[in-house]
Amino acid sequence: MKLVTFRPTNEGGVADHAPDRLGFLVDDRVVDPLAALAGAAKEARPGCFADAIAFIAAGAEGLAAAREVVAMAPATAWHPLAGVRLRAPMRPSTILCAGSNYRAHNREKADSPSSGKEPEFFVKTADCLVDPGGDIVHDPLLTHKLDCETELAIVIGKPGRHIPVERALDHVFGFTIVNDVTARDRQVRRTKEGVVWYDLGRAKAFDTSAPLGPCIVTADEIGDPQRLDLETRINGELRQSANTAEMIWSCAQLIAVFSTNFTLKPGIVIITGTPAGTAWSADVELGGRFEPRPGLVAATRYCEPGDAIESRIERIGVLRNRVVAAPGASQGVR
């Protein structure tokens, strides 16, 4: 099943001002479960359809109710995908992030003493979110080296703490796509002795640094999360192409790692790192070392206003966003 959050649009493509709605994506149409149950008695309308987090927390009961609603939904409850505005499929309470999780990516960037030896640990918040089709803001007061990274995102469905690796995937509701937008010139730091370290707070967590979507696909439809192809295209050029089998730490291992620090709750998201091919790899100033791979186009610069970013992951879909200039940036006024 594919879970979305959406707003209907009018004939001009403008979203209405109603609250966001939970929906289920079936081919190129979206089912609105509350519209499907509009004629039912109030007590017959499951609370799990209130929003994405409520639905995720409902677990197997919510999925069963959703399948029943989709099977009986009248024509009035269906929207063509082209007739809605997709929002981020959920607003996670926390986005737990693992970096340095692909060996090829580690080889292309400046060495840090911990790279590839343990998962880099940083956090993004719901304030970082961008909708599918939304804008990534290029803010020159924050960065001149804006980079984009396609990553598989794990959506937690079952709560737990100190989760063992062998049971970790039992806690997964589904998977989606995150573009881990990064300010590289805020990230890479060097000591006087030449040792590289990463400032992952300022480099990773800022407005529009977490495009998310377009949908959440339930775990049963994904199967093994370590067998998914992923790609990044910028203005149509293939920059990243890899498979999640190339991760150093698997999804199950990352869940176990993060559950040591946090009680993982329904709706928490874990992002799992990015493969080789980032713009950083072509930045000698920041220690980049691009390794040619068949089909990949080496970046010649970082992302700039006007760039179109496509993040694709097998069985999930394509997350599309565009980079835009910050308001007033061209006049140097903020």
Domains of the chain plus CATH, in order, are 2-87 (no CATH), 95-331 (3.90.850.10)
For tokens 């979110």, what's the residue? Answer: 129
pLDDT given for residue 16 in this prediction: 63
User: Per-residue confidence at 334, pLDDT binned at 50, 70, 90?
Assistant: very low
Cα–Cα distance list, 47 to 22, 219, 295 (Å): 12, 22, 48
pLDDT digit string, tens, across residues 186-239: 998 888 777 687 889 999 999 999 999 999 999 999 999 999 999 999 999 999
Give pLDDT tens digits for 2-50.
Answer: 999 999 887 666 666 778 999 999 999 999 999 999 876 556 668 999 9
Give mean pLDDT, residues 300-309. 98
For 309-326, the pLDDT digits (tens) are 999 999 999 999 999 999
Per-residue pLDDT of 240-281, as tens digits, reads: 999 999 999 999 999 999 999 999 999 999 999 999 999 999
The whole model's pTM is what? 0.94
Q: Please give the sequence-ordered ranges of beta strands (E in DSSP) within 100-157, or none if there are none.
A: 120-124, 129-130, 135-138, 146-147, 150-156
pLDDT digits (tens, 9 = 90+) for 106-155: 888 766 666 777 888 999 999 999 999 999 999 999 999 999 999 999 99
Considering the chain, what percentage of its residues have pLDDT values greater than 70? Answer: 93
Residues 6 or more apart whose Cβ sits within 8 Å of residue 279: 145, 147, 148, 184, 239, 299, 301, 302, 303
Angle at alpha carbon of residue 47, lines to 173 and 223, rounded to 5°: 15
Rg of the chain over CA atoms, in angstroms? Answer: 20
pLDDT tens digit sequence for 144-183? 999 999 999 999 999 999 999 999 999 999 999 999 999 9
User: What value does the mean pLDDT of the chain take?
Assistant: 93
Burial 127-141 (b: 16+ CB within 10 A, else e): ebbbbbebebbbbee
